Amino acid sequence: MTHDIEKLAEEIGVMLAESSLDPRIKDVILENLDTLPEDLIFRLKDTLDKERDQLDAVVYDIELFLKQQNARWAKLEEEQQKTASAMTDELFEKLKDHPVTSSAPPKDETPTQS
């Protein structure tokens, strides 16, 4: 192998370590990498590059989705808190202006008969 191909083989080894390929397939590739023709080595590297790029893109999309979802949940929680607070304030004002009075005697007292 030429120096450039050896360097390429090292890169492929690192990429295979990161790859989601089945370990048996990785082993077969690594065991036979020195016997593969250059065009297959370049195709393999291109394929591993594409795999990495696609996985990076999916991971980015997942992280973005989770960030947006967390922001939506936080906003919803804030809106619910504001609504509950407004309802509590409104109820407090109504009770303050019109206190609840009971016409029934307290439970521990019995009405006297005359």
Mean pLDDT of 4-10: 84
The one-letter code for the residue type at 84 is A
Give the start-to-end residue ranges of the domains of the chain. 3-92
What are the tokens at 54? 């696609």
Is this structure's pTM higher than 0.85?
Answer: no
The answer to whether the beta carbons of residues 94 and 88 sit under 8 Å apart is no
pLDDT higher than 60, residue 1: no
Q: What pLDDT digit, counting tens, does each position of 41-85 carry? A: 999 999 999 999 999 999 999 999 999 999 999 999 999 999 999
The token pair at 53 is: 């790029």
